[in-house]
């Protein structure tokens, strides 16, 4: 057993802090002596030291553009994310990705999910939800919840993705489905795509 003075030295906290912890119910002494001295157990010491042990988890920022033609925008996103994460005062890593928001096989996204599944991520930072994925954000959010990863959306306003990028994602979806439809109906699919393009230009 440890007196409050000895215990405070071992965990690197002041006696006053321990008294505050007791008052707040955070850490109650194992028992008190007849002289009303606080005493702490070996188990309590191990518990506090384990909690205070440095974590191997890091913060991760994720930035993405759809095509190689947008590398300037990707660099801009990277620099803004780097500035934001450096202000958090914690170790961080930034993952860059190039590919459609509906492409779930991107190298960066796969790297991110691997880090999360290996419990190496503390917080995930993204500028907008659709920077992560165009559809299915809730699924990745649930994966993060299972691994105690907090997703921080830096800009909580409406997503401001490039309009052309969104159109390309929609066109990719249509293309995938149209390829699966009987060839006799290909002219119908073509007309649908043409109408969508015209509607966007108006």
pLDDT (tens digit per residue) in 124-152: 999 888 888 878 889 999 999 999 899 99
Q: Output b/e per residue, 152-172; b: 16+ Cβ within 10 A.
A: ebeeeeeeebeeebbebbeeb
Q: State residue 46's pLDDT score.
A: 87
Residue 61, beta-bridge partner list: 94, 125
Catalytic residue among 8, 66, 100, 161: 66
Q: How far is CA 67 from CA 41, 53, 79, 101, 142, in A?
A: 59, 42, 18, 11, 28
* Nearest 10 degrees: Cα torsion 138, 141, 142, 146: 180
Cβ within 8 Å of residue 193, ≥6 positions away: 171, 174, 178
pTM assigned to the model: 0.56
Question: What's the CA gap between 10 and 140, in Å, rounded?
Answer: 41
pLDDT (tens digit per residue) in 12-31: 888 998 999 999 898 999 99
The question of whether 117 is a catalytic residue gets the answer: no
List the strands of the sheet with 58-65, edge to edge: 92-98, 58-65, 121-126, 150-153
Average pLDDT, the chain: 83
């Amino acid at each position: 057993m440890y007196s409050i003075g000895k215990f405070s030295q071992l965990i690197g906290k002041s006696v006053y802090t321990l008294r505050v912890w007791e008052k707040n119910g955070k850490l109650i002494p194992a028992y008190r002596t007849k002289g009303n001295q606080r005493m702490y157990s070996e188990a309590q010491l191990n518990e506090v030291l384990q909690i205070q042990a440095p974590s191997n988890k890091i913060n991760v920022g994720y930035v993405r553009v759809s095509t190689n033609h947008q590398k300037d925008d990707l660099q801009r996103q990277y620099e803004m994310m780097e500035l934001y994460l450096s202000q958090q005062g914690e170790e961080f890593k930034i993952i860059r990705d190039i590919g459609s928001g509906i492409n779930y096989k991107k190298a960066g996204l796969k790297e991110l999910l691997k880090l999360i599944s290996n419990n190496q991520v503390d917080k995930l930072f993204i500028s907008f939800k659709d920077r992560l994925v165009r559809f299915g954000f809730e699924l990745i959010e649930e994966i993060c919840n299972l691994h105690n990863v907090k997703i921080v959306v830096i800009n909580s306003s409406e997503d401001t993705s490039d309009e052309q990028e969104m159109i390309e994602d929609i066109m990719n979806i249509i293309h995938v489905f149209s390829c699966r439809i009987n060839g006799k109906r290909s002219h119908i699919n073509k007309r649908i795509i043409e109408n969508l393009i015209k509607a966007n230009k108006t």
